[in-house]
Structure 1
Amino acid sequence: MENLKPLSDFFAAIEKDFRISTTHIAIYAALLQLRIGKGFINPVEVFSRDIVSIAKISSTYTYIKCVQDLNDYGYINYVRSFKKTQASKIYFVDLQGS
């Protein structure tokens, strides 16, 4: 159940945030799933192609836009890699107090 706490905290934080769409939620959940699969590390290194597949979205552009939004809104810290062979880093923010 401890693994669900970050997702619960995220839902509590976005409850009144009109900027968050279902795509943002799908991407955050996919990022969290990947993080759990990698032993709950922070940061997690990700390739957009992996998250696009898990989140069931069809566009890398949509992924980049939504991850950048989540970064700008303070839900994650996103360090983008512009190299196809190097993963980007996603730092999860503690949302418990949000």
Structure 2
Amino acid sequence: MNYVKHLTAFFGKVAQEHTLNPTHISLYMALFQFWNFNRFKNPINISRDEIMRISKIHSPATYHKCIKELHSLGYFDYQPSYNPFEGSQVNMFDFAGELKPKPRAKRPLPNWE
């Protein structure tokens, strides 16, 4: 997993998605950090309280709204746990492969005659 390529692709997707706001981005970055701490292995187990603290989201309603919207937009797969003693699971998707190299513009070769 290429950290820089992934984040570049993520922000490229965010720039095209007009329904996302800074709260969505903050939540995603908190999840990405958890994924990083787990050496990019899926799934990651998350605690709502900890993710809210890291992402600076203070309302559980806002947290649930944002995590469900990011899930439905395909940023990750979210499997909520309805057990208060068990964390929810998130499968993060690797966006690094979505970056396509831009072809170089063809320049005419110099005429050395």
- TM-score under structure 1 length normalisation: 0.89
Cα contact 1:7–1:29 (8 A) shared by 2: no
1-side partners of 2:75 and 2:48: how far apart? 18
Structure 1 stretches of 4+ with a deviation exceeding 6 A read none
* Residue-by-residue CA offset, 1:23-55 (whole Å, 9 max, x unaligned): 000000000011111222111110111100110
| Paired position in structure 1 for 2:92 | 92
Q: Shift in Å at residue 94 of structure 1?
A: 3.0
* Aligned counterparts of 1:54 and 1:8: Cα–Cα separation in 2: 21
Residues 1:5 and 2:5 are matched in the alignment:
yes
Secondary structure at the aligned position of 1:15 is classed as: helix
Q: Are 1:56 and 2:21 an aligned pair?
A: no
* Residue number in structure 2 paired with 1:17: 17
Q: Is the 8 A contact 1:7 1:32 kept in 2?
A: no
Local SS of the residue matching 2:98: coil
Letter in 2 for 1:23: T
Q: Percent identity?
A: 31
Q: CA RMSD in A?
A: 1.5
Q: Which consecutive unaligned segments of at least 5 residues does structure 2 have?
A: 100-113
Q: Mind listing any 5+ residue stretches in structure 1 that lack a counterpart?
A: none
Amino acid at match of 1:13: K
Deviates more, 1:34-43 or 1:45-54: 34-43
- TM-score scaled by length of structure 2: 0.78
* Residue 46 of structure 2 is aligned to residue 43 of structure 1: no
Q: CA deviation at 1:14?
A: 1.5
Q: When the two structures are aligned, how many residues end up with a matched partner? A: 97
Displacement of 1:7 in angstroms is: 2.0
C-alpha distance after superposition, 1:74-97 (max 9, x if no partner): 111110111111111111123342
Instruction: Letter of the 2:82 partner, please give it.
Output: F
Aligned-residue offset at 1:59: 1.4
